[in-house]
Structure 1
Amino acid sequence: MPQLDTSTWFIMITSMFLTLFILLQLKISKYNYPHNAEIATKLDYKISTPWMKKWTKIYLPLSLPQ
């Protein structure tokens, strides 16, 4: 049986890790992170929709008096 040549494995594995590290760094560098990490409260977050201006009530058939 022929002998398996493993002389290039170290170069291939090292170059693979280097390439993956560079690609990961390039992907991470595209994100914009805030300078001060403050927790946003839900009270400041208010959506105004047209149906919130009207008073509506839905009557279900099972909730009517019998």
Structure 2
Amino acid sequence: MPQLDTSTWFTIIMAMLPTLYLITQLKLLSMNYYQPPLTKNPNLQTHNICWRPKWTKTYLPHSQPQQS
């Protein structure tokens, strides 16, 4: 029964580690990561409006009280 030659294993493993590292780095460089939204600049001027935006209740025609 022939013996398994393991003399080259160390060289192969040591060459494989930097190769796997480089492949992983190249994969990570090509990925698109989530970009957080830009924060609003507080120094920007806001437009003055003569009315305040607010919630109002909208009534449908059938929900209004009947007038007699």
Q: TM-score, normalised by structure 2?
A: 0.40
Task: Give the number of the structure whose alpha-carbon radius of gyration is greater.
Answer: 2
Task: Answer 1 or 2: which has greater helix percent.
Answer: 1
